[in-house]
Amino acid sequence: MDVTKAQTEALLKQQGRVVYYLDHILSTINFRDKYFQYSIAFILFNPIFWNVVARLEYKTHLLTKLTGSAKAGCYLLAATIFSLGVGRDLVFDKALRQQQTCEYLTNNVNIKYLSCGIFGVGQLLVLTSMYQLGVTGTYLGDYFGILMKERVTGFPFDVSNNPMYQGSTLSFLATSLYYGKPAGLVITAIVYFMYKIALRFEEPFTAMIYAKKTVEDKRKLK
pLDDT tens figures, 155-200: 999 999 899 999 999 999 999 999 999 999 999 999 999 999 999 9
CA atoms in the 13 A half-sphere facing the CB of 162: 14
The pLDDT-based confidence of 152 (bands split at 50, 70, 90) is: confident
pTM, rounded to two decimals: 0.87
Euclidean distance between CA atoms 25 and 174, whole angstroms: 17
Q: Helices marked H in the chain — which ranges?
A: 2-27, 34-60, 62-67, 70-98, 103-106, 109-138, 163-178, 182-221
The pLDDT-based confidence of 1 (bands split at 50, 70, 90) is: very low
Closest by CA to 116, choosing from 190, 195, 176, 39, is 176
Name the CA dihedral angle for 89, 95, 101, 102, rounded to a multiple of 10 degrees: -80
Q: What is the DSSP letter of 32?
A: T
- Single-letter amino acid code for the residue at 82: F
